[in-house]
A and B are shown apart, each in its own frame.
Chain A
Amino acid sequence: MLKVERLTKFYPTATGPLTVLKEVSFDLAPGASLAIVGPSGSGKTTLLGLCAGLDRPSGGSVVLAGESIGEMNEDARARVRNAHVGFVFQNFQLIPTLTALENVLVPIELRGEGGPEAEAEAHALLQRVGLGARTDHYPVQLSGGEQQRVALARAFINRPKILFCDEPTGNLDTDTAHAMVDLIFGLNREKGTTLVLVTHDLELAKLCRRRLRLRGGAVVEDVTTP
């Protein structure tokens, strides 16, 4: 599902290139789950961004759902994201001017596949995350946990092959975070989705079968739980 080989990213600076990711390689089979952990500035978010096709690598390759996205231009990568990828962000990233239902529908409508069926599916997903009664509410009218649940419903609406989560519980209190984790893993199992999540939370990381630990942009530990 996701194949990363010798992935490198550096940024030019006045004092020479600043390397933030050094030759990271790994493979993920469909349905697998991976947690990327490490201290701040270790390159976790950069790795997630490159794997999800949000940025272009300086070296190495990323093959996502059989497509080599490192070579693609931004619009081609956007098509791949729309077709195969779901996202959950630390700060929810709902569009403030859209209702919960409309936020969930965005990925489907981007494909030009909106309509009653899509709406029914969005309703069902919102029902599934416990927000069946809040479909017409705007983000500002929802709590942080509720916003993140809407984001999760949005991530699953286009039946993604792979779900990328960036600190999905980072902005939530403990109880809400637990409920959120249950939902992410529950839906992941139900839909058979591959899961890649970035987190500081080691307890959360342990729920994934595989864990990559980064330090200074390089993989220092790669553990797979049987």
Chain B
Amino acid sequence: MNFVLKMAWRDSRASRRRLLLFSLSIVLGIAALVAVGSLMDNLQRAIDEQAKGLLGADLAVQSRSALTPEAEQFLNELGGEQAREVMFASMIVFPTSNDQTRLVSLRALDGAYPFYGDFLTDPADAPARLAAGGRVAVLEATLMAQFGLKPGDPVRIGETTFTVAGSLLSIPGESAAIAQLSPRVYFPLSELPATGLIGPGSLVRYKSYFKFAPEIDVEALVRDLRGRFRELRLGFDTVEERKRDLGRALENVYAFMSLVGFISLFLGAIGVASAIHVHVRQKIPTVAVLRCLGCSARQAFAVYLVQGLGIGICGSILGAAVGLGVQLILPSFLEGLLPFAVEFAVSWAAVGQGMVAGLIICLLFTLLPLLPVRRVSPLVAIRSSFAENTSGPDPARWTVYALIVGAVTVFALAQTRRWEHGVGFVVMLALSFGVLAGLAKVVAWTARRYFPKRAPYVWRQGVANLHRPNNRTVLLLLALGLGTFLIVTLALTRATLVAQIENTGGGDRPNLLFFDIQDDQIEPLTAILAAEGAPVKASAPIVTMRVRSLKGRPVEEVLRDNVNRIPQWTLRREYRSTYRSELGASETLVAGEFIGTVPAGTEVVPVSMEKGLADDMQLALGDELEFDVQGVPVKARLTSVREVEWRRMEPNFFVVFPAGVLEGAPKFFVAATRVDDAGHSARIQRAVVRELPSVSAIDLTLILQTLDGVFAKVQLVVQIMAFFTVLTGVIVLAGAVLSGRFQRLRETVLLRTLGANRRQLVRIQLVEYAILGLLAAVVGCGLALVANWLLSAFVFETAGVFAPATLAFAVAAVMTITLLTGLLANRGVADHPPLEILRQES
């Protein structure tokens, strides 16, 4: 052992810098694993430590309709300290900003909520002023900034003007990211009636928060009362449930990020294996001499295994350090994204796991090029024509392959915790690598077979480098191609989604939607819109109802049925249905016959249902169901099934009744129109809010902004991970160039001796790296186009965009990176006298 260690150390003398560079290949993969693991540990710890603050209460109960007296009594009997909140979306007006309007999430609050955690505002006394009652409001800080508001300014909510008490910085249970979707505005519940915003059919959530004595077991309580909650159609959330939900969400994010990180590690390990392969080839004469002097095959193998292990250890240590460094800057990326505060501390468990994973993968990949060392014949020392004894298959090679597949599978299973996901990852990884490696082989073969023999020398030499022995074509196409693939897929997906939304409002389609329109407001609204040059393009009455029975069975019974499981939401939700005599523009009949009108007094009403809902409810044409239309039972029969294009900004419905039945029921409306631009939209919204304050509007621009905001955050995370992969590709490229430098050097020196000038030598390299960069970029972009096409066709159900500018930019960027890295790593070779370089390298 002593000899092995000594020899490994001494033998590395001339190549330590190179070996260290090889180790850099795995640094980023390990860094990614350490950073992600450490981040998740910190998040998990924060969740555990701030468990109660996640909900702000011991129990939260919510209902989508006003509490019935029975539900009210039930909640009161639960005891404990209670707080109530009424949540709904509405427009508010900013008189200090020229009466501009904004759709916000209004929260009318009563009681000492939050019971746990801090309600942070600026100034800090705003919650107290809110609790004291009166016409004061706390507005999301982003909203204050957007409209230049300060405490004391007026803000109009519905028919009432409130005074801004302060800006909301954070409140338990929700992340600041929610402000991206819908900024929050808190005001006292006692002032809700004065706003006049809640009418029949308004989309409102009623929440009740509870704080119990410490000895009460909340989990046991909700377990015992689960049936009662269900009967009263109340949803509930406990601290433990919130922890589980958050934990699950985190696990998914963790699995995704660590698997992408693992791809970097995997690529890096391939880079290490490729570099070690070249390193070991150079060491064959040394191994032969050692064998002559009595060194056993195992000892010779061990010498280079120790070097491989050294690379792994160096890479792991550096990787862990970089990973911890990345973690230092992570808080700034995550600011406002999480519903709790996170203190970042080093997670030694994550560091250990990342390092061990890196070391194992690196070691396994190092074994592959090291195996031939065992077979080097001592005869090489006296006859250089002898290489390693490669006759016959080497079972050890297959063992190592099996170990690699096993290790990757175990890792993937450990991350995803679901065997089908883990195996899926391994298969996808193998498939991607297979496609890229296969393409690389085809490229090399084509270059050899079809490149014109009469092309200029510089071109022939550069292209020949793609297919001759020890080429880097496969390695670089894998590393750079995969990185390009990840990043470009992301960019194309984003472009596809944005195009899809823009297309939603394209042509003459509606792009501004009004909702919460009461029965007596539809006419004035139609008039306002017409006066503002945006006549109503589509409108629909909405009648709220619940399902009472399904195929003759009461809903309560179906809910209890554990055999034919029907999703609970389909049975418990409040349906907002419409009635009309014909199909809408975004609907297609897929089964049955759409019946548009029925005579008054029809006993069993023919209804049309959206296909997905009919499938979920396990309903077929002819099946009967009964609705509770605000206290009135209405029998219905499914007579048609529709497919609905939900994305279109038009009134779309799960259940459509024929005209002639629901006209007399309490109802409200939605209406859609088309505006020319943002200014037109703002002008119309101001006019509508002024006349009809309870009517809310949402325009396509807002959805686009929201989507862009959410996408930007997701994209940042994915881009960071993809960046690790691309950077690994660059390091692998540099490693490959340096490890092949010795072989190329002799040739360069020979060309130099035969009279090649520096310019010619540099141009040969330029041709090689430009082709490699171009191929990696083209292959990566090609795969990204395929992936985007698959995602568009099967996930987003839209046409994928081509985005030539994005693709051109990706190709240019990858080529530039490849050229720069290649030229930098090779610098100096053509500048020095041949003899000087040969002596350095020998």
Residues of chain A at the chain B interface (Cβ within 8 Å): 45, 48-49, 52, 54-55, 74-75, 78-83, 85, 87, 89-90, 93-98, 102, 106-107, 109-112, 114, 140, 154, 158, 166
Is B293's CB under 8 angstroms from A87's CB? yes
Q: Does B144 contact A (CB under 8 A)?
A: no
Q: Does B587 contact A (CB under 8 A)?
A: no
Is B379's CB under 8 angstroms from A55's CB? yes
A89 to B290, CA, bound (A): 13
Is A81's CB under 8 angstroms from B3's CB? no
20 further interface pairs, Cβ-Cβ under 8 Å (given A95-B290, A112-B3): A49-B383, A54-B377, A78-B295, A89-B381, A90-B382, A93-B285, A93-B381, A95-B286, A97-B11, A97-B13, A97-B15, A106-B7, A106-B293, A107-B293, A109-B2, A109-B3, A109-B6, A109-B7, A110-B290, A114-B3
For B290, B299, B381, which residue has the most chain A Cβ atoms within 10 angstroms? B381
Partner of B297, one of A52, A74, A94, A114: A74
Is B10's CB under 8 angstroms from A98's CB? yes
A30 to B299, CA, bound (A): 31
A45 to B382, CA, bound (A): 8
A112 to B2, CA, bound (A): 7
Nearest CB to that of B13 among chain A residues?
A97
Q: Report chain B residues within 8 Å CB of A97.
A: 10-15, 286
Q: Report chain B residues within 8 Å CB of A102.
A: 10
Nearest CB to that of A108 among chain B residues?
B3
Q: Does B753 contact A (CB under 8 A)?
A: no
Q: Mark B270-301, 1 if CB is under 8 A from A, else 0.
A: 00000000000000011011111111111100
Q: Does B268 contact A (CB under 8 A)?
A: no
Q: Report chain A residues within 8 Å CB of B299.
A: 110
Q: Does B17 contact A (CB under 8 A)?
A: no
* A162: min CB distance to chain B, Å: 13
A108 to B296, CA, bound (A): 14
Is A87's CB under 8 angstroms from B292's CB? yes
Could you write out 20 A-B pairs with CB less than 8 Å apart?
A: A49-B379, A54-B292, A55-B377, A74-B297, A74-B378, A75-B297, A78-B294, A81-B293, A81-B378, A93-B285, A93-B289, A95-B286, A95-B290, A96-B14, A97-B286, A106-B293, A109-B6, A110-B295, A114-B2, A166-B382
* B19: min CB distance to chain A, Å: 12
Is B2's CB under 8 angstroms from A83's CB? no
A154 to B12, CA, bound (A): 21
* B839: min CB distance to chain A, Å: 7
Interface residues on B, range: 20 to 34
Q: Which of B354-388 contact A (CB under 8 A)?
A: 377-379, 381-383
Q: Report chain A residues within 8 Å CB of B292.
A: 52, 54, 81, 87, 93
* A97: min CB distance to chain B, Å: 5
Q: Which of B217-248 contact A (CB under 8 A)?
A: none
Q: Report chain B residues within 8 Å CB of A112.
A: 2-3
Q: Report chain A residues within 8 Å CB of B288.
A: 93
Q: Does B842 contact A (CB under 8 A)?
A: yes
Q: Count A-B pairs with CB separation below 8 Å.
A: 95
Is B297's CB under 8 angstroms from A89's CB? no
Q: Which 5 A-B pairs have CB atoms at the shortest separation, nearest pair first? A: A82-B294, A75-B296, A54-B378, A81-B294, A109-B3
Q: Mark B466-499, 1 if CB is under 8 A from A, else 0.
A: 0000000000000000000000000000000000
A1 to B11, CA, bound (A): 34
* A164: min CB distance to chain B, Å: 9
Nearest CB to that of A139 among chain B residues?
B842
A78 to B299, CA, bound (A): 11
Is B294's CB under 8 angstroms from A79's CB? yes
Q: Report chain B residues within 8 Å CB of A140.
A: 839, 842
Q: Report chain B residues within 8 Å CB of A45.
A: 382-383
Is A49's CB under 8 angstroms from B12's CB? no
* B126: min CB distance to chain A, Å: 72
Q: Report chain A residues within 8 Å CB of B377.
A: 54-55
Q: Report chain A residues within 8 Å CB of B293.
A: 81-82, 87, 106-107, 110, 154
Q: Report chain B residues within 8 Å CB of A106.
A: 7, 290, 293
Nearest CB to that of A151 among chain B residues?
B289
A48 to B295, CA, bound (A): 19
A150 to B546, CA, bound (A): 97
Q: Are A110 and B842 also in contact (CB < 8 A) when A93-B285, A96-B14, A166-B382 are?
A: no
Partner of A78, one of B7, B291, B842: B291
A78 to B298, CA, bound (A): 11
Q: Report chain A residues within 8 Å CB of B382.
A: 45, 48-49, 54, 89-90, 166
Q: Report chain B residues within 8 Å CB of A87.
A: 292-293, 381
A110 to B807, CA, bound (A): 58
Nearest CB to that of A105 among chain B residues?
B6
A45 to B383, CA, bound (A): 8
A103 to B290, CA, bound (A): 10
A85 to B3, CA, bound (A): 19
A5 to B13, CA, bound (A): 44
Q: Report chain B residues within 8 Å CB of A74.
A: 291, 297, 378
Q: Mark B1-37, 1 if CB is under 8 A from A, else 0.
A: 0110011001111110000000000000000000000
Nearest CB to that of A79 among chain B residues?
B294
Q: Are A78 and B296 also in contact (CB < 8 A) when A49-B382, A54-B377, A93-B381 are?
A: yes
A107 to B10, CA, bound (A): 15
Partner of A96, one of B286, B296, B383: B286
* A23: min CB distance to chain B, Å: 21
Q: Report chain B residues within 8 Å CB of A110.
A: 3, 290, 293-295, 299
A48 to B292, CA, bound (A): 12
A49 to B382, CA, bound (A): 8
* A169: min CB distance to chain B, Å: 15
Nearest CB to that of B286 among chain A residues?
A95
Q: Report chain A residues within 8 Å CB of B7.
A: 106, 109
Partner of A107, one of B14, B294, B381, B839: B294
A96 to B283, CA, bound (A): 10
Q: Report chain A residues within 8 Å CB of B296.
A: 75, 78-79
* A85: min CB distance to chain B, Å: 8
Q: Report chain A residues within 8 Å CB of B2.
A: 109, 112, 114
Q: Report chain B residues within 8 Å CB of A78.
A: 291, 294-297, 378
A79 to B292, CA, bound (A): 10
* B282: min CB distance to chain A, Å: 10
Q: Which of B295-311 contact A (CB under 8 A)?
A: 295-299
For A90, A94, A97, which residue has the most chain B Cβ atoms within 10 angstroms? A97
A94 to B381, CA, bound (A): 10
A106 to B377, CA, bound (A): 18
Q: Which of B577-626 contact A (CB under 8 A)?
A: none
A49 to B291, CA, bound (A): 12
A49 to B377, CA, bound (A): 11
A197 to B208, CA, bound (A): 100
Q: Report chain B residues within 8 Å CB of A89.
A: 381-382
* B769: min CB distance to chain A, Å: 30
Nearest CB to that of A90 among chain B residues?
B382
A187 to B274, CA, bound (A): 45
A126 to B289, CA, bound (A): 19
Is B379's CB under 8 angstroms from A95's CB? no
Q: Report chain B residues within 8 Å CB of A83.
A: 294
A178 to B749, CA, bound (A): 35
A24 to B180, CA, bound (A): 91
Nearest CB to that of A102 among chain B residues?
B10
Is A96's CB under 8 angstroms from B842's CB? yes
Q: Report chain A residues within 8 Å CB of B295.
A: 78, 82, 110
* B116: min CB distance to chain A, Å: 65
Partner of B298, one of A48, A55, A75: A75
